[in-house]
Amino acid sequence: MYTPFVALTNQTISKSKIKSREIRLRSRPKAMPTEDNFTMAQTEMKPLQDRQVLVRNLFMSVDPYMRGRMNDGQSYVPPFGLNKALEGGAVGEVIESRAKEFKSGDAVTSNFGWREYFVASVQELHLVKREVQPLSIYLGALGMTGMTAWAGLNLVEVKAGDVVFISGAAGAVGNVAGQLAKLRGCRVIGSAGSAEKVKFLLDECGFDQAFNYKTGPTLEQLNRAAPDGIDVYFDNVGGETLEAALAALRVHGRIVACGGISAYNQETPSPGPANLFNMIGKRLTMKGLIVSDFMDRQAEFEREVGGYFRTGKLKNHETVVQGIDQAVNAFVGLFAGKNVGKMVVQLA
Ligand SMILES: NC(=O)c1ccc[n+]([C@@H]2O[C@H](COP(=O)([O-])OP(=O)(O)OC[C@H]3O[C@@H](n4cnc5c(N)ncnc54)[C@H](OP(=O)(O)O)[C@@H]3O)[C@@H](O)[C@H]2O)c1
């Protein structure tokens, strides 16, 4: 699935009049986004000012949370502006620098995804190790989604012996959460939307059990996988799966409220779980997670999870789509389960 990265240096790029394609939001989607909600535009890079850096993106991320930013309204991040380039995680290489902190050829991450080139100030870039390959890992296991998995496990203090159930398990956050929970000595169960994904969880991510939530009622399948109940539910999807987890959790069970993708494209929100009373009867704890709250622990995350990756204990799984003209398809594909592991778009 991963197409080998071909290093491209500034010697191959003429710095004058670089043109960059970018994807803009044309209109706010009502339910499932379509291509009509987006437009492709071309801009020309301006000469660098002092302390500025020109970057060529190599990979950009598409993430479910971006769907929320396409709506108008208040949330934990402001909405995307209409007729402006979208934003999101990206990893690129420095083409030209007028700041001492960066030199041509450096690999950097930024929030300037959805475009081929950009000019940024020093504080908008984060230097990463170019020798770590593929560089797209900085959008996945060693990036925002990997950190979400790690932060979620820490949030509810997952420990050896816990029975942990993860939904959306074959996705970017889910597969890393499962691998990290296994490294902590947990018994790990995952749900995902196809037989291929179930096999992936069992064979490549080391889950103890996995099931396809599309082939039978989630609660029945969860009860079969965990007849004595679960201690932790890592929620990526909400809806029926959250209801099943509330039923299966043991007394003093914990829930990481990480995401609710089953509702992201609903025009009218569905009512909440019918069995919320389990929170009381079983004295459950449910904690909301926003990964950016953990930014002050980034070095600790990089040390721990980067260490697992370097020593082969954690694998990076990704689905790579080619070309900025396919970025919208890749994004919409998240809601149809088109990805195994992290969905990324290769631009260079
Ligand atoms: N709180 C935070 O700070 C934070 C940070 C990052 C991500 N998140 C959340 O974490 C969740 C996972 O994000 P991710 O980046 O790892 O995405 P992802 O899991 O890589 O991709 C989305 C996956 O969701 C599943 N899905 C799509 N529609 C669904 C539906 N109606 N019901 C159930 N599953 C559905 C699909 O897998 P199947 O084939 O298995 O259906 C799809 O592959 C999302 O809810 C996201 O918003 C939260």
What pLDDT score does 81 carry? 96
Q: DSSP per residue over 134-165, as a string? A: SGGGGGTTTSHHHHHHHHHHHHTT--TT-EEE
Q: Report the nearest atom of ligand 1 relative to the CA of 261.
A: 45
For 40-54, b/e burial (b = at least 16 CB within 10 A) is eeeeebeebeeebbb
Is 17 a residue whose pLDDT tops 90? no
Is 3 a residue whose pLDDT tops 80? no
- Amino acid letter, residue 6: V
Higher pLDDT, 10 or 51: 51
Burial of 183 (0-12, 13-18, 19+ CB in 10 A): middle
Residue 89 CB–ligand 1 contact under 6 Å: no
Residue 193 CB–ligand 1 contact under 6 Å: yes
Is 269 a residue whose pLDDT tops 80? yes
> Which residues share a beta bridge with 119?
54
Higher pLDDT, 168 or 267: 168
Structure tokens at 119: 């000019």
Atom 44 in ligand 1: residue holding the nearest Cα: 259
Q: What percent of the chain has pLDDT above 70?
A: 95
Interval between CA 258 and ligand 1 midpoint (Å): 9
Q: How many CB atoms lie within 10 A of CB 79?
A: 15
Predicted confidence band of residue 205 (pLDDT cuts 50, 70, 90): very high
Residue 175 CB–ligand 1 contact under 6 Å: no
Residue 63 CB–ligand 1 contact under 6 Å: yes
Asked whether 97 and 103 are in contact (CB, 8 A), the reply is yes
In tens, the pLDDT along 108-131 reads: 999 999 999 999 999 999 999 999
Interval between CA 146 and ligand 1 midpoint (Å): 13
- Reduced to 3 states (helix: H, G, I; strand: E, B; else coil), residue 127 is strand
Residue 261 CB–ligand 1 contact under 6 Å: yes
What pLDDT score does 158 carry? 98
- Amino acid letter, residue 257: A
Nearest residue to 114 (alpha-carbon basis) of 226, 34, 25:
25
- Reduced to 3 states (helix: H, G, I; strand: E, B; else coil), residue 240 is helix
Is 2 a residue whose pLDDT tops 50? no
Tell me how far CA of residue 227 lies from CA of 189, 198, 221, 223, 230, in angstroms: 12, 19, 10, 5, 9
Residue 341 CB–ligand 1 contact under 6 Å: no
Residue 191 CB–ligand 1 contact under 6 Å: no
Interval between CA 202 and ligand 1 midpoint (Å): 19
Interval between CA 284 and ligand 1 midpoint (Å): 23
| Strand 249-257 to 230-235 pairing | parallel
Interval between CA 77 and ligand 1 midpoint (Å): 18
Between CA 180 and CA 196 the distance in angstroms is: 21
Q: Which of 16-20, 91-95, 121-125 is predicted least confidently? A: 16-20
Predicted confidence band of residue 242 (pLDDT cuts 50, 70, 90): very high
Q: What is the pTM of this model?
A: 0.95
Is 86 a residue whose pLDDT tops 80? yes
What pLDDT score does 10 carry? 40
Half-sphere exposure (Cβ direction) of 58: Cα atoms closer than 13 Å: 25
Predicted confidence band of residue 348 (pLDDT cuts 50, 70, 90): confident
Cα 117–chain centre separation:
22
What pLDDT score does 60 carry? 98
Is 78 a residue whose pLDDT tops 80? yes
Interval between CA 235 and ligand 1 midpoint (Å): 9
CA-angle at 40, arms to 21 and 334, nearest 5°: 100
What pLDDT score does 178 carry? 98
What pLDDT score does 6 carry? 35
The average confidence (pLDDT) of the chain is 94
- Amino acid letter, residue 14: S
